[in-house]
Every structure is written in structure tokens, then in C-alpha cells.
Structure 1
């Protein structure tokens, strides 16, 4: 039986009416809560079809029209977007207790709601986060990093000047650093469990740019890219769990080999005192979270750094000259050298600014009503910060896409503090591993640049410094060659 023209017309009228009513309902909802204005988007999918491959840039355009705090529908979820340092500070820091909740994120389903990444803002989250930060702050971080840098330098020397993938080499090192902190010992690069772990999270990070839609339209879980992402994260979780289970067999209540043992000590104390700081699922969730975030983001910063130094040889030469003058040739750079290496520190800051590896915050959730800049953001509303809008703000950083370390040097030649420079975010969900990441990036970058001269393989051309937006803003692939400095 064929449908008539009248049937199609009737259906079109119905669909238009439903769409109009949905838009009217959204408008009334915004008026009711005095939410910030923003682009309308479409029914069901919201603004998702309007976002290009770099949504942070689209959000910056909308901020010019609607203001630095605006509202969008991400799928069916009302989301307030924060652009610029002042807006992010006023919500995430000054009203941190009201803005640090965590909505359900299907893409992180492998964590089963455990660990400080996806846990909601409550007493348990605060106590676990405080415990982890306190443990990391007391570590002899330099010792952990030096041991792994030795292995990385040996790996590079064995390449004998042949091309290698810089990101893969550095990623293995940063994974081993966080692994040693968690478990008290490093993994050999060719260990099957270690290789499975690295391959799984590399695959997951790569897929995240295609499958992030699942966080906003969870009913699309069946799409191939969403299923592949879920499989990749589950493989990563299983790889961490295998290492954790082997480690668990050697556990001794009176010995602390790493952060994992420290958390397991708390489980024993909980059993005795009926406390609730950790259970073993919390340990697994935090190990998975720290492995992923503590290795890939640092490796991404260092990979961007190598790409910029190869692209700007004058900067690299000046950095090497400063290292040679301050450190000399008989030893390696140490953390104690930092005050005497202003250009080196400024270069590392500019690397983090120029292509920030976290364009967006992981979504937050308002735990109570938030009044900010004349608006009312109701409890339960999703919040996202566009960090890209801080580091690419033309009024703060003229010609923001140019790589200029001297932005961070004052008239006296000292490192200049810039209030809006927050590569580790701020507030109650800022990066808990900042105390580890900062020295790690400094020691790996300075040691490699001090010991080797890097260049592009013959016949190859460096890619443009344009990355792929996903869970981490990843640099394009490139190979390097290295030879020891004389």
C-alpha cells in the first residue's frame, strides 16, 4: 500500500510541531532557571552536529556571541560551557564545592564507577583524593624518574641514529614511571602484560575522538566506534588488573612497595576499624585511572615538545646552550637546576600552553544551585570547561599559535608567573598528579636534549603542529633520529 502525498504532509506537520514544542520547552526551561543563553541546536542531538573535529574552536566562536558562560544541549543533556580563565576560576575554584560533582560517563564504564576520575563529589572521593595527593607529595620523585630515564636513554642509544617513534618510546617510559610508583618496580618494555597495557590505552585514546558522542547520547552504544572504544578500555583494564593481581600475591602488611600497597594497607585498617576509605575495587579503579592519566598526558606533552623543538631549531639551540652552561657536560640535569634554567622552564611552559593536551575538562556536575555572573545554574546541570580558550586567548597571548617561550620571561630574565596559566586545571578536581607530572616533564625533556641532538630522518618532513582532539589532544605521528652530543 503506497503512502499518499497527504500522508507525507501530515507527517511533516507532526514532526515540525514536535520540534517546535521541544524548542519551546527548552526556552521555558532556560527562562525558568535563568540559565546562560547559547545556541539552540537540534532536538535530541542538541549542538553535537554543529561541532567540527576541533569542538574547542567552535565553543570559542560561540563564546564571542553568547559570552564566556553559555548553555548548550549536548545530546539531551543541558550543559553549561565555561570559557576563559575568569569563568573557569569563578565556577571551578571559587564555587568548587558546588561544581565538582561527576555525571555518569558511559565511555568510562570500564571503571565501574570506582576511582577518583569518575567518582561523584562526596566524602569518600575527598578522602581518597587527599590520600593519593599526600602519598605522591612525599615521594622521592626524582629517584623514580631517574631510573626510568636511564632505560630510555639506553633505548635511544641502541637505535644508533636510526629513526624511531618518539611518542612510543616516551610513552613506555612515562607508563613505567607511574607503574613503579603504583607497584614499586618497573616493567621490561618487552613484557607481554606491559605491552598489552600500552597498546590497549593507545588504541582507546585514538578511538576516543570518534566515540565521545556516547557520553552525550548513551543509547548509541551499539555504534561500531562506541563498541570498539568499550572493548579497548576493557582490554586496558584487564591488562592493569593482571599486573595488579600478580602484585597482590606478594603483598605484605608491613611493607609498602608503592601506592597500591599503601591503599591496600587502608583496606586492612578498614577491616579492623570498619572504616571505608578504600575497597579493592577502589584500588583497581584508581590504578587504572592513574596509569592512563599519569602516563599518556605526560607523554603527549613531551611529544608535542619534541615536535616544537624540531620545528624551531633556534629555540632548541638556545635551550641546549643554557643547559650546557648551567649543567655542564659531566652530569645530568637535576630538579635543583630549575631556578638557574629560566629559558628551559619557559620553553616547557610554552609547550604546555601551545597545544594543551586537555582541550576540555572531563564533565563536572553541579551538586547544588550555582549563582555566577548573574545566572542561576541549577543542581544537577553538567559543566564543562574549555581550557583551549585560556591558552589561545589573543588578549593574553598575542599570536597564540606562535611558539614563543619568551612569553614566560620577564624583563629581568626570570620566569614570569601568569595567573591564567593552569595546565593542570584548578579547583577540587584539578590534576592530583601535578606534583609528579611537573618534575617528570622537566627531567625527561632536559635529560634528552642535554644528551642528544635530535633531527628528522632524511627525506622526511615534519608534520604541521595540528593534533587530533579526543580524551587527549594527540600530536601527529612523526619519527626522529638521535645522536649523542659531543
Structure 2
């Protein structure tokens, strides 16, 4: 009898195990049935996927894979299945033409400090669209020249006080771009020696530096405990706290009958809508958007300007031609203005080539399919993550001959005018494109032209200028270098 009970027990256990295996197999088949029409891609290894094969510059590896698998292919990065988009046509067809279906946002562990709020991390929804439209409308009506002139004065004065001694260009320009976006947000600038302002700049510089070391946690979330991942989380939290301190100070002087900057317009919306319906911005939206605009409006612009200086030092003939055009059109008695732009084609072409040669974001932030997407003969299931490799546009030999060479004339026609090049999308496209384009383009023009018009920049004696090769992280970080500046005569 005991033997029979044992045999029955074993049979029950075996049956339960078989049922469990059948359920698991069924779930796998259901999951894989949605992946049948996913684009093909390279095989990875269990758990890690293709992560071990991406090398130092993943954007270049992905371009190589696109030659084999096509411009839309699938990779497994850790626990995430991602459809990679390479080349202008693929990115346009998915992000723009299928924008309503491809503009979701998955959970981004790196940006947990935003708590899934704000126009960077919020998922695609009516609330997201309304907030984004509100911010874009405000930024598009700004008098950018008015908001930058004081900071350009301060930056030029800072460089003059160096008296030709070496200084870190990135640190200098970061303070200026941070104050520009701070003025837009709050209506007033911060003093460079203000402790909260210094904490803010130091925190996001630290986070940007750590991002390349800790980006693996976005694909292998269970590695959050690694030292570099913990350090990155701490750096972003420190940044968030620094922004919040400035925000809380600003709130103390809030007057519903006055508007000092974008934050006040958001607060007006919150107060007005609280009386009748759901607010456009709640408290957490206010914090998250303030933090998002600070980091995207300062770090990205300062990084782009730093790359610009590195290229102008590397190509002194281009810099001399740029200065000659500015001297001819602007003269020596004033600074370049936005009204001068139509008369400065080589200057504008140089700025475009600077953005092309080192697009500061090689990859888009991950998107998410909000519905099934049919594109180029493939079915991309709802919930699938999507990423664009912008490097595959700007370093595409079929579009640009010798793409690694710095040649502003690419953007000029035979008549000496700036020409439009299809596929030149430094601010991306679609419903997740950069909302600050209307600010960043004139700001970069005003700061860079003011500097090269005022000073001659050189590499310090005894130092060697690094090659224009960066490190891929949340932005494409330029190598460290110092410069000397002397007033032009």
C-alpha cells in the first residue's frame, strides 16, 4: 500500500511537472508568434544578447550589422528585444510616418529620478502631447537673443580675465548654457559662484561622465547594484535635488499676476485648472519638466559647442574663413546677431557640419510601439522597443563623401548659398523630436560666432590637441582639452 501511494505521488508530481512545462512552452510560443515577422538580426548569447559584441562604439557595430541584415533589424540587448532603425528612410518611416504608433516610452532605468514624468520619460498619451505642445509653443515665441546676450557678455568677460592662460572650454561654456536655460525657466540667472548653481553643474557633468559606464543597466536591470550604476543613480538624484532647490526658491516669489519664465506659465496653468478640471501640470510634472529642460537645454548645447571648438582648432583654415566672413559682414564694432544669418552662409554651413560630424546623440532614447506596426514588410508588435542609430545617417558614405572629414562646403551649393540636405536631422523628427530645436539652433549660432569673432583660440604650448573622437554615453562626450584665447585685433 505504501509503495502504491509512493508511485501515485510520483505520477502526480510528474504530471504536474509536465503540465507546468506545457504551460511554459505555450507562453513561449504565444510570445514568439508575435515575433515571427520581426526583422532578422544577429544572434547573441543567453541573458546578455548582443551586448558583448557592441565594442567601444556601438553605433559603428550596428552600422556594420545593417549592411548584413538591412536598415531595420532586431537585436536582443540583455533582457530587451529592440528593433534598430538605421538610415534616414527607416527612421523617417517609423518615427515620422508611423509616429502615432511608435512614440511610446518604455521605462528608462537611467532616468528613474524623473519618476516617469515630464516630456522625456512620460509615455505617449494625451497628457504628454498637451504638455509637449505647451512647452514647444512657449519656446518658439522666445526672444532668444535677449535671453543669451547677458550670458555671452559674462562668458566673454570670463575668457578675457584668463589673460591668455589655458582653461577648460567645456566648463566655461557649460555655465553659460546652464544660465541661458535657467533664465528661460525662471526669468533670472544664477551667479557662477552660487553653491546651488555649482552643485547643479557638477552633478550633471558627473552623471554624463558616468552614463557610458552604467548604460548597461537599461538592458540588464538586475545589475543596478553595480558600483558604477549606483554612482550614476546618486549623481542623477543629486542633480534632481539641485534643480529642486532652485525651483523651491523660485516658488516662494510666485505671483499669479506676473510671469518671470516658463516655470511661471506652467504654474499659472496648474492654478487655473485646479479650480475647474485636471491640471495640465501637477507638482511632479513641474519638477520633472524643469529637470528635463535643464539637462537637455544645457548639457547637450554645451557639448555641441565644445565639439565645435575642438573641430575649429583641428581645422584652423575653416576657422580663419569663418572669421573672415564675420569680419566682412559684421565688422569689428559689434557682435553677430540673428539678423546677420542670411548673409553668413559659410558660418551657417560650418555650424551644420559641426552637428553632422559629431551628432551629440548617436542614438535616440528608446521608443515603444503603442500598437502593432507594419513597416517594410515586417510586423513590429505592440510594446516592442525601438531605437534609431543617427550615426548611420551622419556617417553614411552614400550621402556624404568621406564622412569623417570636416567639410562645411557640403552644405553650400554652387552659388554659395546654404543648401538643404534631406536626411540632415540633428534634432530628430516625429512626435519625440527635440522640443528645444527653436532655442538650440540660434543659441549655438550666437555663442559660437561671438567667441570666434572676439577671440583667437589656440592649443596651449606643449599640449597636443586630442583627436575628435568621443565616448558614447547619454551624449557623445568629447575628449578633455584646454584652450588659450587672445582678443582679436
> Shorter-chain TM-score category?
over 0.9
Aligned partners of 2:362 and 2:389 also within 8 Å: yes
- Give the secondary-structure state (helix, strand or coil) at the position aligned to 2:270: helix
Assess if the C-alpha contact under 8 Å between 1:33 and 1:377 holds in 2: no
Match of 1:428 in 2: 431
4+ residue segments displaced more than 3 Å: 24-28, 30-33
1:139 aligns with 2:142: yes
Aligned partner of 1:89 among 85, 92, 98: 92
Question: Which residue among 152, 156, 162 is the counterpart of 1:153?
Answer: 156
Distance 1:112 1:315 in 2: 45
Q: Specify which of 107, 110, 115 is matched with residue 113 of structure 2.
A: 110
* CA-CA distance at 1:51 after TM superposition: 1.1
Cα contact 2:35–2:381 (8 A) shared by 1: no
Q: Deviations over 1:92-124 (max 9, x none)?
A: 000000000000011100001111000000000
Cα distance, 1:42 vs structure 2: 1.3
Note if contact 2:34-2:381 (Cα within 8 Å) is conserved in structure 1: no
Out of 51, 54, 58, the residue aligned to residue 57 of structure 2 is 54
Report matched runs for 1:190-205 at 5 Å.
190-205=193-208
User: Once the 2 structures are TM-superposed, how far is the Cα of residue 50 of structure 1 from its aligned partner?
Assistant: 1.1
Kindly indicate whether residue 287 of structure 2 is the aligned counterpart of residue 278 of structure 1: no
CA contact (8 A) 1:269 1:275 kept: no
Q: Distance in 2 between matches of 1:206 and 1:417?
A: 34
Give 1:58-457 correspondences, 5 Å limit. Answer: 58-457=61-460
1:452-463 mapped onto 2 (5 Å cutoff): 452-463=455-466
CA contact (8 A) 1:82 1:88 kept: yes
CA RMSD of aligned residues (A): 1.6
For 2:121, what is the secondary structure of its paired residue? coil
- The equivalent of 2:16 in structure 1 is none
Q: TM-score, normalised by structure 2?
A: 0.94
Structure 2 residue runs of 5 or longer lacking an equivalent are 1-20
Structure-2 residue corresponding to 1:41: 44
What residue in structure 1 maps to residue 32 of structure 2? Answer: 29
Return the alpha-carbon distance in structure 2 between the equivalents of residues 211 and 242 of structure 1: 26
Cα deviation code 1:344-366 (max 9, x no counterpart) = 00000000000110000000000
Give 1:32 deviation, angstroms: 4.6
Q: 1:479 aligns with which of 477, 482, 488?
A: 482
Q: Output one character per residue of 1:441-468: Cα deviation in whole Å (capped at 9) or x when no partner.
A: 0000000000111001011110001000
Paired residues of 2:42 and 2:75 also in contact (CA < 8 A): yes
Cα distance between partner residues in 1 of 2:256 and 2:157: 36
- 2-side partners of 1:29 and 1:80: how far apart? 15
* Alpha-carbon distance in structure 1 between the residues aligned to 2:177 and 2:302: 6
Structure of larger gyration radius? 2
Note closer, same or farther for the CA distance 1:471–1:95 as it changes in structure 2 (3 Å cut).
same
